[in-house]
Amino acid sequence: MPRNFDYADAEPRLYAWWERKGWFKPEVAGSNAEPFVVSMPPPNVTGSLHLGHALFGALEDLMVRYERMRGKAALWLPGTDHAGIATQLQVENMLREEGSSREEVGYEEFLHRTWQWKEEHGGTITRQLRRLGASCDWDRERFTLDDGLSTAVTQAFLTLWEQGLIYRGPRLVNWSPGLQTAVSDLEVESTEEEATLYYFKYPLGDGGHIPVATTRPETILGDTALAVNPADARYAGSIGKSAFVPILRREIPVIGDDSVDMAFGTGALKVTPAHDFNDYEIGQRHKLALVNVLNKDASMNANAGKYAGMDRYDCRDRLWRDMEAAGLAIKTEAYTTRIPRSQRGGEVVEPMMSTQWYVRIQPLAEKAMAAVRRGDIKIVPERYEKVYFHWLENIQDWCISRQLWWGHRIPAWYRDKDGDPEGEIHVGRNPPLGGGWVMEEDVLDTWFSSGLWPFSTLGWPSESGDLERYYPTQVMETGHDILFFWVARMIMMGLWFTDKPPFHTVYLHGLVRDRHGKKFSKSLGNVIDPLTIVDKLGADPLRFTLITSGTPGNDVNLDERRVDHTFRFINKVWQITSFINMNLEGDLELGLPPVEELDLPARWILSRLHRLIANVQHLFDIYQFGEAGSQILAFMWDEFAPYYLEISKHFMYSGTEDEKIATQRVLVAVQDSCLRMLHPFMPFMTEEAWRYIPHDGEALIIADWPNANTTLIDDEIEARMNLLLELVRELRNTRGEYKVDPGKRIKALAKAGAAAKDMAAHDYVFRRLCNVEELQLLAAEDPTPTNAASIVVSDVTLYLPLEGMLDIEAERGRLEGEASRLTQQIAKTQKMLGNDNFLSKAPEAVVQRERDRLADLESAHKQVTERLSSLPR
């Protein structure tokens, strides 16, 4: 067995082997196996792996490998998303670098170039996921623009249309001037920014004026009313009068509306229904005209009069100067307000009138809420259910059309009628017979196709074998940042089209941040490339660290020091395997010898192991994977390796043949279970290590998940062994305090009550673990050794004759400290046990534990004080 785990060699070799063997495919479990299906959240096809991908990769692979080992037909279905805007932007950037543009090359050529780009870069992310060890069924890989998925998208669209749930019409939308497309509410991010609030006079027809404030003066040109609160004594008298749009001198009414905030600005509101969502509402209520003053590129249009053709911000400055000149300007002041920006380009989004396609989402949302309310779908962590409900309760119709070229084209056709090129509309896969029909140029929001992902990838709408066998899926694991974008829409669309919840559990993870909780950003220079870590340390350390660094729903602060630590843990597990491997000879019977034949340390480690297995099982059941991983690590590093392995050497080197074999079987059994449990966390090292211990089966990836054998969990055994180990730790500690050369073998004497038998029978524990040459048991009536340091644990006193080294004063100090610590604890415990409420209300087991503890403490205290009084003055 190699001295160290060579991940660079093993990772590609093992991955290729697993894949070649077909072990990533659900069919390996047989046709009767219960399915366990996870749809991979499809990354952007042209993206490359970042830590967010690494986190979902680690978590999903963990779940899938775990369920595979539990005998399920585990299917992790991978794929990529065409990511409309993101991909189109990348290709546009490429064209720009060539000195060209999408308009210049034209629609056909642009799509051609984009597909080309996809072919060139599309494999990157999936190759990188493989490096992490992702056990996906790559034969089932899907892409949102595949023929099959496009069919599903069209089907979904047509169904909604036929049900009257899709409509097209002019509405106020969030318009992204740079991208030249509408975007949905979710794609707009508002941030607080420093802006200017402009105060000016709104002239009235009667020669007076009302002062008004705005942050966007250029929209004045599109005002169609002036609104005041009817309860506002200052202005109520003006309701019904006319006002005149500054500079343009267009006549508009002064209206009264309750929604006007009297306390904001001047208390009067200019109403621009075509460029503001609130104003649009007011406009609807008062049947106001809509005056659009912007072109699609956010320059001013003809309605802006002499400002036509100017950029929106140039117009803002110019108009304000003109108003100053006209004596209409009052003042400006600095003002912090929320500026809506495009999630993609970062440019300021303008509310603008535009004709778009919408989904009437209410009926779908109702079903989606009901499913979670009924518990058909559970969200982990649960608190996100509230967030989910809040969003769905206030949901707005979904604008699904995008003015992009890269995406699923909306299956609609137009024909000229009475000079209107869109006079006739037909929705369907194909145009109606007869000429003159032109296909809709808009494409669908990327999330429309993503919303179908759990079933479109399985062949829907065809009721094929995969859909029937693997749908609904089980767990949807993804980031909480796309709960609305994606998860809610999958639930809505899944329920609507398949009448089944697309999954029973949503597991949400957080963002991966740097170790100080900062977002990764190129400008901060704190970006960590997961592949750099994989190159340097292997995939296993990164996976284990990501999983154990956080809890569900919370952000993960990745500390690279933890990755290093995990790397060392992996080495530790390898070394344990290596130790076992080199201490075996010949064929070893698998499984455990009868428990009665086993010694205390063996029964102890088996009890600890099975307790661990039970804990890990429970933690997996409640999706606490991080804690599960940490517990396995703690067991191996703090119990198995330092104690049992060391103790086993006694039997290996000086035991009888039977003892030796029994010990070997225990070692192998424990390590085997640990490797199995660790496999989903760190598949590569565990698979490789497993080959070096006797095992049953072809590969760990398809081995059975361990079951806890509760008959092996034994409190009494653990308590007996704990006493010995506690003595060991105290002995080591005392040796340290007296600066006894660690290599020096010393003698120990013990007065042990009930534990005497265990100590005598397991004196090798002390020889192995704390270099005790000889352990001599004294009878109660024997004189206590003088000139010896003493150690008290429970009812055992150990004496270490340290001829010449013992400092009586130091020893007295040590014992006095010990006595006072014990006194305090005794007092605390007595107080607890003296409380009738505690005795009557606490569970019996807790009370009993305190009683036992008190007995131990009192016994120890008695011995310490005796010892103190026997020290020479």
Q: Which of residues 363-392 bind RNA (CB under 7 A)?
A: 381, 383, 386-387, 390-391
Shortest spacing between CB 54 and RNA, in angstroms: 16
CA distance 396 to 677: 46
846 binds RNA (CB under 7 A): yes
Other Cβ atoms closer than 10 A to 843:
8
397 binds RNA (CB under 7 A): no
Which residue's CB is nearer to RNA, number 439 or number 524? 524
Q: Within positions 179 to 218, which residues make up the interface with RNA, using CB under 7 A? A: 185-186, 189-190
757 binds RNA (CB under 7 A): no
- Whether residue 58 contacts residue 684, with contact meaning beta carbons closer than 8 Å, is answered with no
The single residue among 121, 296, 360, 572 that binds RNA, judged by CB under 7 A, is 572
Shortest spacing between CB 2 and RNA, in angstroms: 10
Shortest spacing between CB 187 and RNA, in angstroms: 10
The single residue among 571, 617, 709, 784 that binds RNA, judged by CB under 7 A, is 571
Q: Within positions 30 to 69, which residues make up the interface with RNA, using CB under 7 A? A: none
Shortest spacing between CB 374 and RNA, in angstroms: 22
244 binds RNA (CB under 7 A): no
201 strand-pairing partners: 211
Which residue's CB is nearer to RNA, number 126 or number 648? 648
Shortest spacing between CB 166 and RNA, in angstroms: 21
Buried b (16+ CB within 10 A) or exposed e, 671-709: bbbbbbbbbbbbbbbbbbbbebbbbeeebbbbbebbebe
Taking 3-state DSSP, the helix, strand and coil percentages for the chain, each rounded to the nearest 5, stand at 50, 20, 30
- Contact stretch for RNA (CB under 7 A) within 44-52, 209-217, 620-628, 689-697: 620-628
Which residue's CB is nearer to RNA, number 126 or number 863? 863
The single residue among 434, 525, 586, 843 that binds RNA, judged by CB under 7 A, is 843
Q: Within positions 698 to 737, which residues make up the interface with RNA, using CB under 7 A? A: 729, 732-733, 736-737
Shortest spacing between CB 707 and RNA, in angstroms: 20
The single residue among 238, 624, 664, 863 that binds RNA, judged by CB under 7 A, is 624
Other Cβ atoms closer than 10 A to 835:
12
Shortest spacing between CB 277 and RNA, in angstroms: 8
- Contact stretch for RNA (CB under 7 A) within 64-72, 78-86, 415-423, 826-834: 826-834
Q: Within positions 331 to 350, which residues make up the interface with RNA, using CB under 7 A? A: 338
231 binds RNA (CB under 7 A): no
Per-residue tokens: 312: 């929106």
Residue 818: what residue type?
E
Backbone φ, ψ for residue 622 (5° rounding): -105, 20
| Closest C-alpha among 475, 558, 341, 482 to residue 43 | 482
The single residue among 150, 303, 617, 630 that binds RNA, judged by CB under 7 A, is 630
Q: Within positions 258 to 317, which residues make up the interface with RNA, using CB under 7 A? A: none
691 binds RNA (CB under 7 A): no
The terminus-to-terminus CA distance of the chain in angstroms comes to 59
Shortest spacing between CB 834 and RNA, in angstroms: 10
Per-residue tokens: 4: 């160290």
Q: Within positions 446 to 485, which residues make up the interface with RNA, using CB under 7 A? A: 481, 484
745 binds RNA (CB under 7 A): no
The single residue among 32, 656, 837, 869 that binds RNA, judged by CB under 7 A, is 837
- Contact stretch for RNA (CB under 7 A) within 121-129, 218-226, 309-317, 509-517: 509-517
CA distance 422 to 593: 83
637 binds RNA (CB under 7 A): yes
Judging by beta carbons within 10 Å of its beta carbon (0-12, 13-18, 19+), is residue 848 exposed, middle or buried? Answer: exposed
The single residue among 240, 743, 783, 804 that binds RNA, judged by CB under 7 A, is 743
Length of the chain: 873
Per-residue tokens: 832: 């607890």
The single residue among 234, 649, 660, 862 that binds RNA, judged by CB under 7 A, is 649
CA distance 738 to 732: 10
Q: Within positions 548 to 567, which residues make up the interface with RNA, using CB under 7 A? A: 549-552, 554, 557, 559, 561-562, 564-565, 567
List all residues 6 or more positions away from 387 whose beta carbon is below 8 Å from its beta carbon: 483
Shortest spacing between CB 764 and RNA, in angstroms: 13
Which residue's CB is nearer to RNA, number 491 or number 701? 491
Shortest spacing between CB 38 and RNA, in angstroms: 20
Strand 73-77, strand 35-39: pairing: parallel
| Closest C-alpha among 728, 719, 706, 725 to residue 628 | 706
Per-residue tokens: 55: 């986190």
Q: Within positions 511 to 550, which residues make up the interface with RNA, using CB under 7 A? A: 513, 515-517, 549-550
Shortest spacing between CB 494 and RNA, in angstroms: 22
Q: What does the radius of gyration of the chain's CA atoms come to, in whole angstroms?
A: 37
CA distance 321 to 244: 18
CA distance 194 to 378: 42
Per-residue tokens: 872: 């020479």
Q: Within positions 766 to 825, which residues make up the interface with RNA, using CB under 7 A? A: 825
User: What SS3 class is residue 74?
Assistant: strand
834 binds RNA (CB under 7 A): no
Which residue's CB is nearer to RNA, number 289 or number 622? 622
CA distance 380 to 554: 11
Which residue's CB is nearer to RNA, number 742 or number 753? 742
CA distance 100 to 824: 82
What does each C-alpha distance from 670 to 335, 641, 652 come to in angstroms? 67, 11, 16
Shortest spacing between CB 744 and RNA, in angstroms: 11
Element (H, E) at 687: helix 683-690
Shortest spacing between CB 463 and RNA, in angstroms: 36
568 binds RNA (CB under 7 A): yes
The single residue among 838, 858, 865, 871 that binds RNA, judged by CB under 7 A, is 838
Which residue's CB is nearer to RNA, number 557 or number 776? 557
744 binds RNA (CB under 7 A): no
Size of the site for RNA (CB under 7 A): 75
Which residue's CB is nearer to RNA, number 271 or number 537? 537
- Contact stretch for RNA (CB under 7 A) within 49-57, 471-479, 574-582, 798-806: 574-582
Shortest spacing between CB 140 and RNA, in angstroms: 32
Which residue's CB is nearer to RNA, number 343 or number 403? 343
The single residue among 96, 331, 417, 841 that binds RNA, judged by CB under 7 A, is 841
Strand 329-342, strand 188-203: pairing: antiparallel
CA distance 674 to 671: 5
21 binds RNA (CB under 7 A): no
CA distance 377 to 209: 58
Shortest spacing between CB 357 and RNA, in angstroms: 20
Which residue's CB is nearer to RNA, number 150 or number 825? 825
Per-residue tokens: 461: 């709408």
List strand residue ranges (DSSP E) for 432-530, in order: 437-439, 443-444, 475-479, 505-509, 512-513
What does each C-alpha distance from 629 to 377, 673, 809, 846 come to in angstroms? 26, 14, 46, 28
- Whether residue 668 contacts residue 590, with contact meaning beta carbons closer than 8 Å, is answered with yes
Shortest spacing between CB 679 and RNA, in angstroms: 19
Residue 746 CA neighbour count, 13 Å, CB half:
25
Element (H, E) at 124: helix 107-132
Judging by beta carbons within 10 Å of its beta carbon (0-12, 13-18, 19+), is residue 194 exposed, middle or buried? Answer: exposed
Shortest spacing between CB 736 and RNA, in angstroms: 4
CA distance 307 to 403: 27
Q: Within positions 582 to 601, which residues make up the interface with RNA, using CB under 7 A? A: 582-583
